């Protein structure tokens, strides 16, 4: 575990050794802030209309604002996450340090877990910026905290899935751009895989809906923590890291 944490610390610091970490956090904060402003203005207008027509201030900030905000945050993650994972193994291969890493007294599991935790560290740093926006709602409004916790848990699990897939793809190439493009393509496929479900038979519809990575996030955005969605995401992460381990193991044998 200590070796894995050492790798994670190295990975996390490497994001900030270049501008990439600062750029990703700044870009994410900017996009999230834009959607936050749009949904806040929409919520204020709807609240004023409800009060004008005798609604009595019954507007629910969780339903009318936060749910849509989390769903749009998932879209931002779809585009940003490949930039986090594309360098994890591809840069090691390009610079030639992969041989040193694989011949070091570290197990494949320690290396993979370390890189996964390091990437998750940057992702958590990105999400932590959004807490400042949520604090504004608690200062000036009265949102429920439980749906917020569910939403953030869903974002963490969704990001973990994306990172596990990104690690796998990065381990298959030494070109960061190729890794980023393929990772985004795979993310997008997992996102839209159920779009043809309505035109499929009952069995295939159920399979496609289950495979859709974003369908499992919808309940989290609504503030619902369902164990079947948690199991799906954890199984997805485990399977992605397992395939990454097989890829790294084959690289060790080829080396």
Query: Can you give the pTM of this predicted structure?
Result: 0.89
Q: Which residues contact 154 (CB under 8 A, 6 or more apart)?
A: 70, 217, 219, 220, 221, 229
Check residue 54 and give its pLDDT: 61
Find all residues with CB under 8 Å of 110, minimum gap 6, and list them: 3, 4, 7
| Residue partners of 220: CB distance under 8 A and separation at least 6 | 70, 150, 151, 153, 154, 155, 157, 229
Residue 253: what pLDDT?
Answer: 66
Task: Return the higher-pLDDT residue of 195 and 27.
Answer: 27
Contact 168, 243 (CB under 8 A): yes
- Please state the three-class secondary structure of 47-103 as a single string: HHHHHHCCCCCCCCHHHHHHHHHHHHHHHHHHHHHHHHHCCCCHHHHHHCHHHHHHH
What is residue 125's predicted lDDT score, i.e. its pLDDT?
A: 94
pLDDT at 232: 94
The residue to which tokens 């604090």 are assigned: 135
- Which of residues 195 and 198 earns the better pLDDT score? 195
pLDDT higher than 90, residue 229: yes
Residue partners of 62: CB distance under 8 A and separation at least 6: 143, 144, 147, 148, 223
Give the pLDDT score at 104.
Answer: 74
Please report the pLDDT score of residue 58 as a whole number.
54
Q: What is the mean pLDDT of the chain?
A: 86
Q: Give percent of the chain with pLDDT exceeding 90.
A: 40
- If you average pLDDT over residues 192-219, what whole number do you get? 82
Give the range among 103-117, 158-172, 215-229 with minimum mean pLDDT: 103-117
5-9, 190-194, 227-231 — most confident range: 227-231
Coil vs helix vs strand at 174: coil
pLDDT at res. 185: 94
Percent of the chain at pLDDT exceeding 70: 93
Are 89 and 169 in contact by the 8 Å Cβ rule? The answer is no
Mean pLDDT of 112-127: 93
Dist. CA 2–CA 160, nearest whole Å: 21
pLDDT in tens, 123-176: 999 999 998 888 888 887 778 888 899 999 999 999 999 999 999 999 888 888
Distance between CA atoms of residues 240 and 138, nearest Å? 37
pLDDT in tens, 26-76: 999 999 999 999 988 888 787 777 777 665 555 677 777 888 899 999 999
Give per-residue burial for 85-120: e unless 16+ CB within 10 Å, then b. bbbbbbbbbeeeebeebbeeeeebebbbbbbbbbbb
Angle at 161 between CA 155 and CA 165, to 5 degrees: 145
Question: Is pLDDT of 193 > 90?
Answer: no
The pLDDT, as a whole number, for residue 251 is 67
């Amino acid at each position: 575990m200590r070796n894995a944490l050492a790798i994670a610390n190295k990975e996390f610091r490497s994001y900030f050794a270049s501008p990439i970490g600062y750029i990703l956090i700044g870009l994410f904060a900017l996009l999230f802030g834009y959607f936050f402003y749009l949904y806040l203005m929409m919520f204020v207008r709807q609240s004023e209309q409800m009060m004008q027509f005798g609604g009595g201030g019954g507007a629910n900030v969780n339903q009318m604002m936060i749910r849509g905000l989390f769903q749009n945050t998932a879209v931002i993650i779809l585009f940003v996450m490949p930039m986090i994972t594309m360098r994890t193994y591809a840069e090691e291969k390009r610079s030639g340090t992969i041989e040193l890493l694989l011949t070091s007294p570290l197990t494949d599991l320690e290396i993979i877990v370390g890189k996964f935790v390091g990437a998750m560290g940057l992702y958590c740093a990105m999400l932590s910026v959004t807490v400042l926006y949520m604090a504004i709602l608690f200062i000036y409004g009265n949102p429920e905290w439980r749906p917020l916790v569910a939403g953030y848990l869903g974002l963490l699990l969704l990001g973990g899935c994306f990172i596990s897939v990104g690690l796998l793809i990065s381990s298959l190439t030494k070109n960061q751009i190729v890794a980023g493009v393929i990772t985004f393509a795979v993310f997008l496929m997992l996102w839209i895989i159920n779009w043809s479900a309505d035109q499929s038979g009952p069995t295939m519809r159920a399979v496609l809906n289950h495979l859709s990575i974003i369908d499992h996030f919808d309940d989290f955005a609504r503030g619902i923590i369902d164990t079947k969605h948690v199991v799906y995401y954890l199984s997805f992460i485990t399977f992605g890291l397992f395939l990454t381990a097989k890829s790294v193991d084959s690289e060790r044998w080829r080396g």
